[in-house]
Chains A and B, each alone.
Chain A
Amino acid sequence: MNMDEQALVLQIQAGDEEAFAKIVHVYKDKIVNYLYQVTGDYQKAVDLSQETFLRVFFKANKYRPIAPFSSWVYAIASNLAKTELKKRWRIGLVSLEDVPPAVEISTPSEEASDSGLIRNLRQALDALSPRYRIPVVLKDMEGYSQEEIAQIIKRPIGTVKARISRGRNILKKQLEMARTGNVSFQKKEIFDGRF
């Protein structure tokens, strides 16, 4: 954590609104994108991001500088995402038809998204169980190390390694099935309801 951020955290712990606004400005795109990759729903990602930042302020006194501040923010976001996915699982919104498509979002890599592989990867990722999706997204999309992911999801590093490996294997299997034309991205096959 750099010194500026550390100072901002101390100011937030003292109740400074301006410091909070700066933190929101720095992290807003990262957190919205992360929650979008995990939930697959842009509007829900925005709502959860707002709640994440509110918790960052109101729970700031619980933060201990033993881990990077960004890990703590991502941990709050991950917990909110897990709660949301559990809620969805309980009320039965598990089929891909029920997940709102993110068609309204402008995608910077429009031409890349057009390729079949990227599209299949997106579908396979959305269908992946959250217990694997969160570590895979944090590792392969957000660029966190396994140690940092272990801090974020509060699991041993061995568990993190296993989940990343297992998640990647499931994704690979799904992509191979998509290549051979035997595609079936059904959450009930991949997602067993465990978080």
Chain B
Amino acid sequence: MEDFSLLSKLDRVTAPPDFERKVMSQFSARREALPKMRRALAFRFSLAGAAAALLVCFVVVNMFVLQKGPLSESAGRTAQGTLSPKDFMPISEAVKYSPEIRKASYEPKTAYILEQVSDASNVLIKY
């Protein structure tokens, strides 16, 4: 494609005259700072490691120590079939169902007339 041969004709730039000097000065500065950077990196890693260890301890304590409370003990006994009646707290609630039941005799008597309304069938209506 002729357009892309033009890409090679786009303006090319060169490094500024003091480029090498700047690189070498930065190089010296970084080389001097390297031990300090390594120490900082090691400190960061140790900090992260300590945080991770704390998290693991927290999870382990939650899983194996804190969950062995009264509830888990009771559950364990149920599983073993050694649960005694004193382990239960009876809860009873009085419920009155009489208002819920209506007597049919109190209702007004209603006569239902069944009438066929379909035109399709020619059957006499009987009352």
Q: B-contacting residues of A (Cβ < 8 Å)?
A: 17, 20-21, 24-25, 28-29, 31-33, 36-37, 42, 45-46, 49-50, 53-54, 57-58, 102, 105, 107-109, 112-113, 117-118, 121-122, 125, 136-137, 140-141, 143, 168, 171-172, 175
Check B11–A108 contact: CB distance below 8 A: yes
Q: Which chain B residues border A102 with CB–CB below 8 Å?
A: 11, 13
Q: Is the CB of A54 within 8 A of B23?
A: yes
Contact of B10 among A20, A50, A54, A122 (CB under 8 A): A122
Q: Is A46 touching B16 in the complex (CB atoms < 8 A)?
A: yes
Offer 5 A-B interface pairs, CB within 8 angstroms, sorted by A: A20-B27, A32-B13, A46-B15, A107-B12, A109-B11
Cβ-based interface call for B1 (8 A) = yes
B6 at the A interface (CB under 8 A):
yes
Of chain B, the residue at the smallest CB distance from A50 is: B23
Chain B 1-56 residues near chain A, CB threshold 8 A: 1, 3-16, 19-20, 22-24, 26-27, 30, 34
Interface residues of B (CB under 8 A from A): 1, 3-16, 19-20, 22-24, 26-27, 30, 34
Task: Please tell me if the beta carbons of A121 and B7 are within 8 angstroms of each other in the complex.
Answer: yes
Bound complex: CA of A58 vs CA of B41, how far in Å? 15
Question: B23 to chain A: which residues have CB within 8 Å?
Answer: 24, 28, 50, 53-54
- Decide if A118 touches B20 in the complex (CB within 8 Å): no
Contact of B13 among A20, A24, A53, A105 (CB under 8 A): A105
Q: Is the interface of B mostly helix, strand, loop or mixed?
A: helix
Distance A140 CA – B4 CA, assembled complex (angstroms): 7
C-alpha gap A20/B30 in the complex (Å) = 14
How would you classify the secondary structure of chain A's contact residues: helix, strand, loop or mixed? Answer: helix
Do B7 and A172 touch (CB < 8 A)?
no
A residues in contact with B20, CB < 8 Å? 21, 24-25, 28
Shortest 10 CB-CB contacts between residues of A and residues of B: A107-B11, A140-B7, A28-B15, A32-B15, A29-B14, A36-B13, A140-B4, A33-B12, A105-B13, A53-B23
- Given that A17-B27, A54-B26 are known contacts, is A121 also in contact with B6, CB under 8 Å in the complex? yes
Residue contact A46 to B19, C-beta cutoff 8 Å: yes
Asked whether A141 lies within 8 Å of B8 as measured between CB atoms, the reply is: yes
Instruction: Report chain A residues within 8 Å CB of B8.
Output: 140-141, 143
How far, in angstroms, from A112 to B20 measured CA to CA in the complex?
A: 30
When distances are taken between beta carbons in the complex, the residues of chain B under 8 Å from A42 are 13
Q: Are B19 and A32 in contact (CB under 8 A)?
A: yes
Task: For residue B69, give the distance in angstroms from its CB to the closest CB of chain A.
Answer: 48
Chain B: CB-nearest residue to A32: B15
Most buried by A among B9, B11, B19, B20: B11
Interface centre among A53, A107, A113, A117 (most CB of B within 10 A): A53
Let me know if A121 and B15 touch, CB within 8 A.
Answer: no
Q: Which one of A32, A57, A125 lies within 8 Å of B7 (CB-CB)?
A: A125
Name the contact of A105 in the complex, choosing from B1, B5, B11 (C-beta under 8 A).
B11
Besides the contacts A24-B23, A121-B7, A172-B3, what 15 more A-B pairs have beta carbons closer than 8 Å? A28-B15, A29-B14, A32-B14, A33-B14, A37-B10, A53-B27, A58-B30, A107-B12, A109-B11, A113-B10, A113-B11, A117-B6, A125-B7, A140-B7, A141-B10
